[in-house]
Structure 1
Amino acid sequence: MTDTAAAPDPTMEAIGDAVALGHEGDPDSARRDLLALWRRIGAAGDAFHRCTLAHYLADLHDDPAEALIWDVRALDAAEALTDERTQRHHASLQVAGFYPSLHLNVADNLRRLGSFDAAAEHLHQGEQHAGVLADDTYGNTIRTAIAEVREAVARRDTARRASAPGAPR
């Protein structure tokens, strides 16, 4: 019998713990913990850790400029990822599946900053990659968010989307 369970990854566990703090209503502690992990990982550290951490940390910033910095870091880290690395964490992960969400997040922050043409370009990139998403809750959520951001760009709307991660519910 082959053991298909991933080896324990203390960094991913720490990222998950910090994200849980944010979901439980303590974004300040979540940001503090993720920033401490970022300092430990470093800008040249494991691309999977950097991508995941930056993706979640962006959601903890209300300021779209601060969120954009982290979203760009996540997108840059994804460029250094391989399927082999992501599948060491979970066998079902493929880097291609990260891009729709990563481009969506960059686009949404650019839109909130009033950079509509740049936002539209990232939406286009997100749409180009969306075909890899399954027809499930996650895939539908990302496709719906891309459509919402596309509509907001067309209206030249810079308001935060009610459905955005980290948005007040």
Structure 2
Amino acid sequence: MSGWGKNNPDQAPKKYWSLDEAKGKLETYCAYQERSQWEVRRKLYEKGIKGDDAEELIAEMIGTDFLNEERFARAFARGKFRLKHWGRLRITRELKMRDISPRLIQYGLSEIDPEEYYDTLLTQTEKKWDKTLEKDLFKKRYKVIQYLMSRGFEQDLVQEAVSGLQ
């Protein structure tokens, strides 16, 4: 969780929530954008609500449909692909970090159209190729491949996209 206050002893501690206050604040927090249970649990921990109280609030949020992990996984995958141009591997890694089940990760990844995915990979490859100033073709190719793989694109697709440029 957040350890910011540990390094700033002069900083006043964060304001903790009461249980009644937490319900309203969580509804606002979840209505603003899709959240995972992990994110909500983390927020509650930061605000001093732990254990059974936190689990009860999360169960209530699920019951009122403020929290829905499938909806979160789909929105997350769609958003990170379209806005940040992440590949499937990076999206999968980030969803696993948020304790999303493998089945729900697959649902999320199904939001990505394969043709749009490959077109995005080609676009990102061309942009990075043009921006890389390396004179040695081998080093330039290596840098572009490393960049695309760090964005979460699969190695075989990256190799295919880079070889298409040369």
Q: TM-score range by the shorter chain?
A: 0.3 to 0.5
Compute the TM-score of the two structures, normalised by the length of structure 2.
0.33
Compute the TM-score of the two structures, normalised by the length of structure 1.
0.32
Structure showing greater radius of gyration is: 2
